[in-house]
Structure 1
Amino acid sequence: MSSNPSQPKAPLPKAFRRVWAAASVSSFGDGVYLTALPLLAASLTRDPLLLSVISAAALLPWLMFGLVGGALVDRWDRRRTMWLTDAARALLLFAAVAGAAAGWLSVPLLIALAFLLGMGQILFDTAAAAYVPEILDRDAALLKRANARLRGSVDVLDGFVGPPAGSFLFTLGRAVPLVVDAVSFVFSSLVIRLLPASPPRPRADRRPLLKEAAEGARYLLRSPLLLGLSLRPALGNFAFSAGTAVFVLFAQEELHLGATGFGLLLTCEAVGGFLGSLLSGRVSDRLGTGGALILTAVLLTIAQTSIGLGDSAVPVGLALAVRAAALSATIVLSGSVRQAIVPGELMGRVAAASRLLALGAAPLGALLGGWLATAHGLRAPYLVGAVFLGASTLISLTMTSNRKVEAALAEAERVRATERTERSGAVR
């Protein structure tokens, strides 16, 4: 729903600022860890299959337990889930550091570490997606601003600052990045521990866990708007993964870049992503959320096509920046609408179902990209990916238009107003 840019903006509450601080520090730690993990793995084995297994181990928990994790989050105190999960992830990393010091570091240990940290990510990310709208009373305008700040922190600290820091810290000692990531989790846990509690759902309202997990998926699939908001990142991940699978070869063989040039291209993405999260609210205020989502879909399609047709680093770098900006804005706006309209008791399950749909498309896109590059050349994954991104424009036009977004937000606000009135009457 569009708003008047001239109206004074309500301040974000102190509770959100604490979540933002915790998420920012944790994002830096994630950037350090995700950069150091392949370096650490490569110091233990040169087998490409084992290296890919280590990388896949972090994603596998989402595919196996994502929906169940969302159901558990909807049962539990979400604040408690977040701080305990980060405390557990810190302990895991400190244990890995101790194992490295004792000479026990091995490929199986790294696989187990990546898998368990991925399990923690399910619980933390899903709980955070459900907790933020709680502390912001599902106010659509506040959610857009809050998600823009959270996404901006991820783009800068996880995507821009963390990776070079991780590479540098690895040169000081291969376990040093793990220590830094563990400390980031300790900080996040301590900060979140001070936030207001999120009461768990009464046991009397609970049903079998798998039925509750399926309920979130059904709620998502039965809502054309929510399904459209989830199909956008699914198609995006499919298209982007097709190109990401061969991007380093594309940069070397088609753009004739060395390691420095390749790093600069990645920097373009990080800068573009930050600008996209920063500008998402302003674009939404002017075009409406649905209009902004249509614009980002068009920009993603144009940028992906430009990458596939680019013949030098400058136009490809600009296209990468535009693509990252449009992607960040899409994530901010889609997530804000979802958090504003989904009932609080279902938020964890719906968020998990949406994340599972998006992540499940990535490995399929990577496989397609590898086949296309082999059969038709390194530009083919980007050009074919642009076709799928074009389909996301049709989804935005038909499923997530301004009319449908504003109608859903108005209905959600009506339901909340009724609930507030009922609670007020009960208190009297």
Structure 2
Amino acid sequence: MLAHNSKFIYLWLGFLISSLGDWLYRLALPLIILEKTGSAYHAATTFGVSFIPWVFFSLIGGSLADNYTQKNILITGNIFAAVFSLLLIFVLRGSDINFGLLYAAVFLLASVDPLIHPSFQSIIPEIIAQNQFASANAAIQTIDNTLSIIGPLLGGSLVTLMGGVNALWLDMISFLVTAFVLLKLPTPTVAVQQKIRHPLSELGHDVIEGAIYSFHQHVIFSGSMMFLFTNFALNMFEANFIFYMTKTLNYPITAATIAMAIGGSGSLVAGLVGSRIVNRFKAGFLLSSSTILAGLSTLFLLISQNYIFIGGILGLVSFFGTINVITYFTLRQRTVPKKILGRVVAVTRMVSYASIPVGSWFGGLLLAHGQSMGSVILLAGIIRTLAGLGAKLSSLGKEK
């Protein structure tokens, strides 16, 4: 049982603390920008910039995960994240925002995640048995999903009470606390340490090897291509959600966070039942079907602008999206050899995240040029639905 696995508990706890800080950052940053500039374009562009490092650093992170101590990578990454958070706070403290410095600080802070995420994913098979992979992924997703409910309400309240910049101090502290918790993870055995010693000169070879393996595994690569289009569609809307709720619909931030919290309930339910669903149905069927249903559900946002209704639809979308993620992570862990898992995680994440900054920027651009949020939602729903249909016709849709 995962509850009795102290190794996994420390990993789970570290992820929980870090995720709490992430919610403060996710809410505070766009609010600060909107308060100081009123610009949906700059808010969405900043959101998009935070995903650009996935394109540049994912493969490096994968190589690090496969060749160095994953525990040390996770700890070091969180310490650097705390330092970069301080830089971001410094940039935002002034009355006017220097967007060059802002984008640079956001880029540096966001660069940590692609460098350590492969280590987080690939350390899971090292500390738990294979028959617990689905349960472990569901447990991790349950944190995300629970915080999807609590995070907006708690984060929105803290941002309102403390102010956006002050709330970012708590985000910085969360990185330091996470690093301390991860110190409790077991140190690799001597045999493992010898195995992972690896000269940096071979980094390029590792990157190429991981890319070749990923591209030749048609099922795994088809999944990352499906996420490429779904992430583009999702972030056209998500990057502009705060602007839509507070500026277009004129809701207070409390109503926006309530809608987000209701939306998180779908993810929570999916996290609780995800392992049973993943173990019962074929991976290809789940991945393609959940993507189609998430796309069709998005279109329901066109029916009403009531914030409770919006929250309910977001909950439906997040349910299918979370089932999607649990299924793909489990499929990847079950089929990819451990020795190359970190690099495959990096390649697939790099491909799937490449469209996020473009989708964020494109959604903000449409709004800045007078298009309605309804047009953005319609386009996003259609693209995500088509991505699911394409997956169903690909080798991924036939995966058992």
Calculate the TM-score normalised by the size of structure 2: 0.83
Matched, 1:125 2:117: yes
Q: CA deviation at 1:368?
A: 4.7
Structure 2, unaligned stretches of length 5 or more?
none
> Cα distance 1:174–1:235, how it changes in 2: closer, same or farther (>3 A)?
closer
- Please point out which of 150, 166, 169 is paired with 1:179: 169
- Please point out which of 357, 379, 383 is paired with 2:378: 383
- Please point out which of 188, 195, 216 is paired with 2:178: 188
Map of 1:78-93 to 2, 5 A cutoff? 78-93=70-85
CA distance in 1, matches of 2:142, 2:121: 16
Structure exhibiting the larger radius of gyration computed from Cα positions: 1
Q: Deviations over 1:180-201 (max 9, x none)?
A: 2222222211221121234454
Q: CA RMSD in A?
A: 3.5
Q: CA deviation at 1:167?
A: 3.8
Residue matched to 1:161: 150
Residue matched to 2:338: 344
Secondary structure of residue in 2 paired with 1:32 = helix
Give the aligned residue type for 1:333: T
Map of 1:38-187 to 2, 5 A cutoff? 38-41=30-33, 51=43, 54-93=46-85, 107=98, 110-137=102-129, 139=130, 141-157=131-147, 159-170=148-159, 171-172=161-162, 175-187=165-177
User: How many residues were matched structurally?
Assistant: 391
Map of 1:24-423 to 2, 5 A cutoff? 24-41=16-33, 51=43, 54-93=46-85, 107=98, 110-137=102-129, 139=130, 141-157=131-147, 159-170=148-159, 171-172=161-162, 175-198=165-188, 199=192, 201-202=195-196, 208-244=202-238, 247=241, 258-259=251-252, 260-310=254-304, 315-369=309-363, 377-391=372-386, 392-396=388-392, 398-401=394-397, 404-405=399-400
Q: CA deviation at 1:367?
A: 4.8
Q: CA deviation at 1:321?
A: 1.1
> Cα distance 1:92–1:329, how it changes in 2: closer, same or farther (>3 A)?
same
Tell me whether 309-318 or 225-234 shows the greater mean CA deviation: 309-318
> Cα distance 1:103–1:378, how it changes in 2: closer, same or farther (>3 A)?
closer
CA distance in 2, matches of 1:183, 1:249: 28
> Cα distance 1:105–1:135, how it changes in 2: closer, same or farther (>3 A)?
farther
Structure 1, unaligned stretches of length 5 or more?
1-8, 406-428
Give the aligned residue type for 2:69: D
Higher relative contact order (CA 8 A, sep 6+): 2
Alpha carbons 1:306, 1:315 under 8 Å: kept: no
Q: CA deviation at 1:29?
A: 0.9
> Cα distance 1:280–1:370, how it changes in 2: closer, same or farther (>3 A)?
same
Q: CA deviation at 1:210?
A: 2.7
CA distance in 1, matches of 2:45, 2:16: 28
Q: Deviations over 1:335-362 (max 9, x none)?
A: 1111222122222221111111121112
CA distance in 2, matches of 1:333, 1:241: 21
Secondary structure of residue in 2 paired with 1:379 = helix
> Cα distance 1:384–1:40, how it changes in 2: closer, same or farther (>3 A)?
closer
Secondary structure of residue in 2 paired with 1:304 = helix
CA distance in 2, matches of 1:343, 1:193: 27
